[in-house]
Amino acid sequence: MELWQLREIVLKALQEDLPFGDKTTEFLIPQNLFGRAYFLAKSDLVICGEPIVELVFHEIDPSVKITWLYSEGAEVPKKSKIGFAEGRVSSLLKAERVALNFLQHLSGIATTVRRLIKFLPEKPLLLDTRKTLPGLKILQKYAVRIGGAKNHRFSLSDGILIKDNHLKALGGLEKVLDKLKNLPHYLKVEIEVKNLSELEIILKSEAQVDIVMLDNFSLEDLKKAISLIRSQKPNLKIEISGGITEENLKDYIQFDVDFISSGALTHSVKASDISFKIEEIWEE
């Protein structure tokens, strides 16, 4: 992640939360009041988001000092202090909610991913998807990496992934495969298939296909599809996707595939429970 990208996200978030200042803090809290506060893990978690938390506080007040007790990506036990923020109390209060929103959400993603990674064998690789919140994709995919999984495409510019609507728009799989004959050799191609019939068309084709995505296949059909691919085109990589969650992942690790992708890594994780508590106050 580039600093300018993070700063752009932070500035938008602060503008949302402080469009005309913090009325409560500005009315009640004197500028000569200083304090020290801590971030508290209220559940076991993988900490993620420290760089952006620091940026939030420093955009509010560059003099705020942030000290972390756990490094980015560390596993933090419940009831542990994660780190401290020290500076003007008014600055701590203004930055608190935005900083926590980022920290809780990103730690929630990293925590979920780490739990799944420990459950998976070395192969297949666990991938995210483009099912991210607009404006937060760069952070959510960063949290996936901190958790230990890999990123699928970041954007539509990153590769050719032919899905059901592409097939519909072009009149079917055969016509799409025909178009691939003119594809530059250096581009990788992935095609999503919905059933065994579509898979058989790909297996019979001479078109360049590098990865086939078996999307929303039943467990029975997955077994058949993987057997066909491994016997007929052993170099064709296999990705399985569609409705894969933490609850049903165990049903899929039995299969000999290269990738498992899940939108649930980013679009429906529960935020980690983290609080921010002032523990010391003084005047200067």
Calculate the alpha carbon distances from 266 to 10, 44, 188, 211, 250 in Å.
19, 19, 25, 23, 19
Class of domain 3-116+270-283: alpha beta
> Is residue 192 a contact partner of residue 221, using CB atoms and an 8 Å limit?
no
What is the per-residue pLDDT across 212-270, written as a single tens digit (0 to 9) for each? 999 999 999 999 999 999 999 999 999 999 999 989 998 998 899 999 999 999 999 99
How far is CA 37 from each of CA 34, 64, 83, rounded to the nearest angstrom?
A: 10, 11, 9
Three-state DSSP at 219 gives helix
Q: Give the annotated binding-site residues for substrate.
A: 97, 129-131, 153, 163, 192, 215, 241-243, 262-264
Distance CA 196, CA 255 (A): 16
Domains in the chain: boundaries: 3-116+270-283, 159-262
Nearest to 154, CA basis, from 125, 126, 131, 185: 131
Active site residue 131: yes
Active-site position among 22, 50, 215, 239 = 215
Q: Which of the following is catalytic: 7, 115, 163, 233?
A: 163
pLDDT for residue 51: 97
pLDDT, mean over the chain: 95
Tell me if residue 251 is catalytic.
no
Strand order in the sheet with 125-127: 125-127, 259-261, 237-241, 211-215, 189-193, 160-162
97 a catalytic residue: yes
Same fold? 3-116+270-283, 159-262: no
In contact, 260 and 214? CB cutoff 8 Å: no
| pTM: predicted TM-score of the whole model, two decimal places | 0.94
Q: Is 237 a catalytic residue?
A: no
- Nearest 5°: the CA angle 255, 149, 84 is 150
Please state which of the four CATH numbers 3.20.20.70, 3.40.50.150, 3.40.50.300, 3.40.50.970 is assigned to the domain occupying 159-262.
Answer: 3.20.20.70
Helix (H) or strand (E) holding 83: strand 81-88
